[in-house]
Structure 1
Amino acid sequence: MDSNSTMHTPAGNAVELTILMPCLNEAETLAACIRKAKRFLATSGVEGEVLIADNGSTDGSQDIARAEGAQVIEVPQKGYGAALSGGIHAARGRFVIMGDADDSYDFLNLHPFVAALRGGADLVMGNRFRGGIAEGAMPFLHRFLGNPVLSLLGRLFFGVPVRDFHCGLRGFSRDRMLALDLTTPGMEFASEMVVKSSLARYRIVEVPTTLSPAGRSRPPHLRTWRDGWRHLRFLLLHSPRWLFLLPGSLLVATGVSGMVVIATTRPTLGGISLDVHTLSYAGAAVVLGVQMVLFAALARLLGIRNGWLPETARVRGLLDALTLERCLVVACLMFALGIAMSLRAVGLWVSQDFGALDPSQVMRWVIPSVTLMAVGGELALSGFFLEALRLPVARK
């Protein structure tokens, strides 16, 4: 939470479970949700509390919550993530189960979440696809495109054993979640919780849960394309390997292979002759690919330095090997080779008494030489940038 938010520490008389609901103008459904949560606590024998993290409601939701016997915490910073973060800080429970206050989640059946938390899970995700989604409860795009795709990317990028990445009903150990220092104020908070738990090697399990149509008449706060993009952006920025390294490596491999083949032969593809025009595109692919690979190293070091990416022995070894001096040596060698190839192109021009040249012949030297010099320059500058990122953080 930032300086505009109020930080809260749990009061005395700690309990086992806090059922946390973020709230922004949920007067139509809030009472029903609180009653179901309190009924669960009463019938299950779990010692707990119901906590409403209000995000500036103007419809009297706060008074409704207090009248139903729930605790209310005011979170001035706007946003779904800000409300949840404030609620987690204020919770008295050893465990927290969070869920929306729109009456779409089943607060009467939290037993699987509590059992998994008691069994040692750090994060327990609900799976609505396994538990059942009532007709009209989830928009078509969310059900068949957004959630499946983002869940697939979460498993691919981070190895998260979750098939419903954005289920809003989830439980976790309060202390373990606070240790992650979650910071995003918006809807992407849901992704941050899962991603950082995975990067921290937390134990994540999934249990079935149900989803019903929301009981309110107003439109949801969620905006499909805007919030979907924010989730995707968060996933990509926390995975330099998939955002930069792998596509960059593919570009380099494809570009180098293409340059070698075209520069040394006159290949044809499906009857189409590949000449220096294709060679120039291959060179551009190499330049862009190298830049992406270097961005992967820069982003990884920046993430480790600022605490949003973990440091492993393998990654540390690779970054330690990428010193400024080594970058400069390799950059100078590449630049020198590029100059030599340029001189060869000049030699061809001299042999023609500085007259007209055959572009197909001379550009086979010029394009690789320019590519080598450009990559050498990128490597040298990135070496200095890496070294700048390694400087000690100045104390204020």
Structure 2
Amino acid sequence: MRIDVVLPCLDEAEALPWVLDRIPAEARAIVVDNGSVDGSGDLARRLGATVVDCPTRGYGAACHAGLLAATAQYVAFCDCDGSLDPRDVRRLDDALGNGADLAVGRRRPTTRGAFPVLLRIANGELARRVRRRSGAPVRDIGPLRMAERTALLALAVPDRRSGYPVQTVVRAARAGWRIEQVDVDYHPRIGRSKVTGNVRGCLTAIRDARAALAS
């Protein structure tokens, strides 16, 4: 396989069948079980995914564990809740083939409820700060992104919480990477959200991202 798709997973058994069924033929799914209690890990194994256990809680911790487990030339990161279609990895692959070093999905909500207003406003402000601080041409710091595995390892992104995507973009920009945004559909997630489904979760994600930007 030339692409490994890292899927951080915390209690996503309801969404896993839909997500894994859409992994491109040229890619391998690496589901990183971040402490699920709903049987997500066992289900992912039965559905043919490679499963990595990551007992250290945190989105960044799960992403890093998946990156370390990857062996393909390219690594993509994608949410495991059905909000993003793994088939869109091919759009990011096209961007890399056209000279980009890092391709980042720009979420385009398919319905009004797919992208909660609080998160959308906060994400827009965060993207503005990232542009100002690093020069990276991003309008959305989304969870779907892709680059060469060895280059990602060399970035040595330290964040282990929700700030991982921000630090990835900032470090890539500082390293002189060509960063390209690619429009991708953004659907209502399947099941209950641990982050965007409540104000506390949104605020925690925003705080983590701002702390990552300041580091």
Both structures adopt the same fold (TM-score exceeding 0.5): yes
Deviation (angstroms), 1:188: 0.6
Higher strand share: 2
Aligned: 1:61 with 2:40? yes
Letter in 1 for 2:6: L
When normalised by structure 2's length, the TM-score is 0.93
Mapped pair 1:134 → 2:111: yes
Q: Secondary structure at the residue paired with 1:109?
A: helix
Structure with a larger share of its residues in helix: 1
2:200 matches 1:221: no
Structure 2's unaligned 5+ residue stretches are: none
For residue 171 of structure 1, give the secondary structure of its aligned residue in structure 2: strand
Is the aligned partner of 1:105 residue 2:84?
yes
Paired residue for 2:22? 36
Q: Tell me which amino acid in the other structure corresponds to 1:234.
A: A
* Secondary structure of residue in 2 paired with 1:126: strand
Displacement of 1:233: 2.4
Residue in 1 that maps onto 2:209: 231
Do structure 1's residue 209 and structure 2's residue 184 form an aligned pair? yes
5 Å-filtered alignment, 1:177-326, equals 177-216=152-191, 218-221=192-195, 223-237=201-215
Specify the SS of the correspondent of 1:206. strand
Give 1:183's aligned amino acid.
Answer: P
For residue 100 of structure 1, what is the amino acid of its counterpart? D
Give unmatched runs, 5+ long, in structure 1. Answer: 1-14, 238-396
Matching of residues 82-97 of structure 1 within 5 Å: 82-97=61-76
The farther-off stretch of 105-114 and 190-199 is 105-114
- Are 1:95 and 1:117, in contact at CA under 8 Å, matched by a contact in 2? no
Higher RCO (CA-CA < 8 Å; seq separation 6+): 2
> What secondary structure does 2:177 align onto?
coil
Measured in 2, the distance between the counterparts of 1:109 and 1:225 equals 28
Q: Please point out which of 130, 141, 144 is paired with 1:154.
A: 130
2:5 aligned partner: 19
Q: Tell me, what secondary structure is at the counterpart of 2:113?
A: coil
Task: Quote the Cα distance in structure 1 between the aligned partners of 2:49 and 2:211.
Answer: 35
**Counterpart Cα distance in 2 of 1:109 and 1:153:** 26
The number of aligned residues is 211
Q: 1:170 aligns with which of 142, 145, 164?
A: 145
TM-score (norm: length of structure 1): 0.52
Percent identical residues: 33
**Match of 2:114, SS?**
coil
Give yes or no for the alignment of 1:71 onto 2:50: yes
